[in-house]
Amino acid sequence: MAADSAWQYQFRIIMLGDSTVGKSSLLKCYTEGVFVESTSQTVGVDFYVHYVEIKRGVHIKLQFWDTAGQERFRSVTRSYYRNSAGAVLMFDLTNRASFESIKKWHQEVMETVKPYHVVFVLVGHKSDLGDERKVGQKEAEKLASSLGAKYVETSAKTSQNVEEAFQTLALVIYEALESGKMRPNEQWDGVKCKLPLEAQPKVQEEKRRKKCSC
C-alpha cells in the first residue's frame, strides 16, 4: 500500500534506546529495505513512515519518531513521548549496558504519558553477532514480561524478524483500540482515525455490550 490516502488508522511510534543500538538501521531496513552498516548519530528526532495491513482490510500508517540516545538530547526526545501510541524499547545484544538502560527508558515514558496508554515492544538488536552476545534470550524475555511487553530479537543486517517486530507492535496497538485501552482523541496524536465514529473499534465494542445487557 503506497498511497497516503489509503490508511484508516495512523499510529505514532517512538524508538527508544541508548546511542548506537541500531534504531536508525532497523528503521531503514524496515521502511526502505536497505541495510546501512554505519549511520550518523541521530540529532534530536528523525521521522520515518511505513504502511502495513495488520488484518484483512485494516490498513495502518505507521509514523516513526527515531530519537537520539545521547543524554544531551533527552529533553528534546521527552517531548515526543506523550503523543506516542507505541514505543520500541531497543538494546544491543552485544552491549549489556544498553540492556540495563531499558528500565530507565521505560520509566521515563510511563512518567510522561499519563493519562494516556502506550504499548511497548522490547527489541534485542544485532542478533547476527551471536559470538559477541552479552544478553541471553531468557533474561530478555523475563524483562519484557515484567514490563508488559512482547520480546523480539532482530538484525537489520540479515532482516531477521524486522518486519515481525513492527507488525507485532502495530497489532497490539490495534488490539488496545478494540479493547478500549486506547481511543482516538483530539487532544492526543498517538492514534488518528479516518473511520466514522460508529465504525471505530471502541464504539463497536460499546454497542455489543449494550446489546448483551438488554
For the domain that residue 199 is a member of, what is the CATH number? 3.40.50.300
In this structure, are residues 70 and 80 in contact, taking their beta carbons and an 8 Å threshold? Answer: no
Residue with more model confidence, 190 or 72: 190
| pLDDT of 1 higher than 50 | no
Q: CA 105, CA 102: separation in Å to the nearest integer?
A: 5
* Residue 207's pLDDT band (cuts 50, 70, 90): very low
Range of the domain at 154: 4-213
What domain count does the chain have?
1
pLDDT in tens, 94-148: 999 999 999 999 998 998 888 888 999 999 999 999 999 999 999 999 999 999 9
- Measured between alpha carbons, how far is 98 from 159 in angstroms, rounded to an integer? 21
Q: Give the closest residue to 77 by CA, choosing from 50, 46, 114.
A: 46
Reduced to 3 states (helix: H, G, I; strand: E, B; else coil), residue 197 is helix
pLDDT at 214 over 50: no
Q: Is there a contact between 163 and 30 (Cβ–Cβ < 8 Å)? A: yes
Asked whether the predicted pLDDT for residue 149 surpasses 50, the reply is yes
Q: Is 57 left (phi over 0), alpha (psi -120 to 50) or beta?
A: left
210 — pLDDT class (breaks 50, 70, 90): very low
